[in-house]
Structure 1
Amino acid sequence: MRKNGDQPVDLQTEAQFAGRVTYESDKNHHNLTIKDLRESDSAEFSFMFTTNQPGGGAAGSPGVTLTVTALQVVVTKPSPRLYPSWAELKCWSRCNLPTDHFVWYKNGRKIYENQFEVRQYFKYEDSMSCARKSYEKFPSPSVCILRPNCNRVTYSDRAICALSGQTVDISCSYSSRDHVVSLFWFKPNPRLQLDPDDLNNDPQYAGRIEVLEPERGRSVLRINELKESDSAEYQFKFKTKGFEWRSSLPGTTLTVTALQVEVTRIIMVHQSHTEAELMCRSSCGPAGHLSFVWFKNGKKILTQQTSTYTDNFYPGDVVSCTFQGHEDNCSPSVYPSKLPALFVSPSGEIVEGGSVTLTCRIDGDPAVTTTLSKDNRTLLLGPAGTHNFTSISSNDRGLYHCRSQDQHSVYLFIDVQYAPKLPLVSVSFSGGIVEGSSVSLTCSSDANPVANYTWHKEEEELPKASGEIFTITDFRPEHSGGYYCEAQNSRGRRKSTVHRLSVASSWKLPVALSITAVFLGFVLLFLILWFRRERSSKQQSERSEAIRQEDDLQYASVQFTVKREDPVYSNFNPTQLHRQEEENVVYATPRCSSAPGTSCEDASALYGNVNKGFRE
């Protein structure tokens, strides 16, 4: 929607957006599509929804601001006297577009890509145009760089939509510094890189086209007796002795369509008439910025100019549509009362558990086959096109689709009302509640219409509060007890299960602190014992190392020397002498004092006291 003053207006009801606006919804996601944008569409757009409750609904604010802009080539000449043919060009728009995604055209031929600016020398006959990359169908108008009169072509319309059988004029203006020797219209073929063919030589258009020049510098291509096969892009080309206008820039796109009236919704079927919504469809949207015209039984409906038409239709009524200004070429007529009818009985509010009959049929001769579906699931229809709900439930609530064998469709939404289901209660706290804290209870229930909630405490008659959420800001022991909620709507009421709340006991905190202190004491004791053990182990290791070093010292310098034989003992047996020497060897044990400043005696001095039993 958009606002007209302070009142929101549905875009589909505005003549300015006729045939150009579509809505798409997917659960909680909603899309608005506007085709064939115009600069006048620049506005703020918002989304609004309504509910089945009186005054229910909301609108998003602020909405989305749309700015529709047209590209424009801006020419700057830094030094027109020193460098008269030098110019700097920029592709400008009201929107903040990336500067590296532009395409440039010179004399109708593409010359640069991915450039925001062009700086170079130009000739007097040169013209320039730019376009957004990937949107080359919407270039800026061609601009003369140095002189007002240059080579360029400007089409009057980017797109034209026309009805089959009509006559259409496609026009353009052109200019050149030199004399034009030839000009013609053609249909470009991107697949074939050949010179284009003049439409006058195309047998498809034989006897149906004219090329007019109502004034100098203006050419008009007129096509009579339009066919849907004439839908194409049309371009203009001119030549001089030394120049040929290129065709990289887009021309005018023609769409030839046939209108058709479709029944989009059966609102209500009465005994004497049918209330329905019709739509005038075409392959154009919108067709050449034209308004729609509706005819009922041959009479023009003066109050209707949009693509949709809602009215009461009686047996024998004939409806057709066309575009304004083309009243002599209307769509085929339809008979709304004989198109698919989808209705429910009994009429009025539908309550869960009741018996309901849904009818999907076409009252025609011969009979037409119809199908009924919900959520892409086909439902069984009886001989009279009926589907019976012996005990309709909340699961049957939804959108039903009735379709004829010729693909005409209507939709009907069945709203089943039912009492609240079992309410569910959730609490913001789990476990014991600390005294003085805040506690919130939330109640929810599936109901149609939407339920209202009240909160109760056991053994108390009056309700504690109303609303979906019940909050106790300062919880005290006297608040302890069982709480439950009750959901109620026009179809019934339902109570939840009891949820008990209590304050955590006062002894729990000291006990918890004591347990924590004991635990920390055990941890501290363990660490002390571990450190002592580590230190004892280290000292023991150091003593063992000292003893080992002492052992190495005691025996490090023990030496035996063999003396020469003494002549006195030359008569002794050497074996006896040797044994006696061994028996009389006395080893002195070196000892080291641990007192400070003392050291071990020299090992060689210790062993100097070895006594032998035999002397001179």
Structure 2
Amino acid sequence: MSVRMAPRLPLIFLLMIHGDAGWGVRYSHSHICALKDSSVIMSCTYTYPTGHQIMKVFWTKTNVRKDNEEFPDLSNDTEYSQRLQYLGDKQQNCTIRLSHVTQKDEHMYYFRFITDKPDGKWLGDPGVSLTVTDDTDLQVESPERVTEGDSVRLTCKSSCTLTDRATFIWYRNSQPLTERRDTNNQLLLQSVRREDAGRYSCALHGHTYISPAVHLNVTYPPVNPVISISPSAEIMEGDSVTLICSSDSNPPPEISWFKGEMFVGSGRIYSISKISSDHSGEYKCRSRNKHGEKDSDAVTLNVMYRSRNVSVSITGSAKIVEGGSVTLICSSDSNPPALNFIWFKENQSSSVGSGQSFSALQSGRFYCEAHNQHGSQRSDAVTVTVHHGACKNAFVITAASGGGLFIIIIIIIIIIILLKM
């Protein structure tokens, strides 16, 4: 029985199989960005074929050997010996901690392990790249403008993304947001309010540096416009009056003024110089920006003025009988209404009556004065004439204010009475 032997493989091929099978180093992060003076954890695991025993493990920052010398062990380097701590073991964990890192520590780092076999050595290449940043390069990224009700996300960024578990603190208008201390670098504002507007900055917990502030501008429609009046006291005819519309909105609103439903002006301030009674009425302002509009409650301008346009009117029956009289009524335009009326007869120094109406029993020219709290005015005089008849004590009172037709009617009535006697 013959045995066929397999051909012998080349030696180089056997070494390749031996070198790769079961050997390896796996790093949790191929690149780490750390804050200056912080501690860095470089996590990794390693594998090797069965039958090997780990004799030595260490980290190095070069992947090139000189003259077949062993790679330099960082734990023997005075720059690292006091700051480097091996957290792994001699089985599969190769994690280290490097504390108080500075920009000088920015390198590639590799894990190296050596077994008890002559060819049982391995370098974990590619390794871990370390970048060290200063906290003074922190910056806040934020949208320039958001609308009330939107969600907004602010980001605290540095020159690289920190991979250690940094804790971020947020500030608004230099005051810490004590309810927000996040292990990520973002601040989320759900349904943003106008009160959220302000200058935002961030910092890293345990560090004194605070980033430059970025302004968050929250826009919203006008809310509850209010009108103030100056002077706020009683308004007299002839005064100058200013109406001011105050409205909370962002961006600032455009203001329109209305008297009733009629547009009368624009701008935050509406001024009336030498106000008159015609300006009395209800006014409101309308506040508008691109997000909406809102009307104020109406305010009333009540312009006060003294009595004016005072006049006397005559009432009574056209047929005057014995003992009859003529009633005179005094009318006045004033605000507030006149409540005090005084009657005078020309060429007499004292008054002959008071009240809005007056009964005239004798001939003469009569006028009235109307008074309110702001002043008085006198009416033109009217003439009252008493005509005495030919029979028993009968008399007729003829009242005239210059109207010829009324005199003619009175004469006709007298003639008719005489004919019946």
Q: TM (normalized to structure 1)?
A: 0.27
Indicate the structure with greater strand content. Answer: 2
Higher relative contact order (CA 8 A, sep 6+): 2
Indicate the structure with greater helix content. Answer: 1
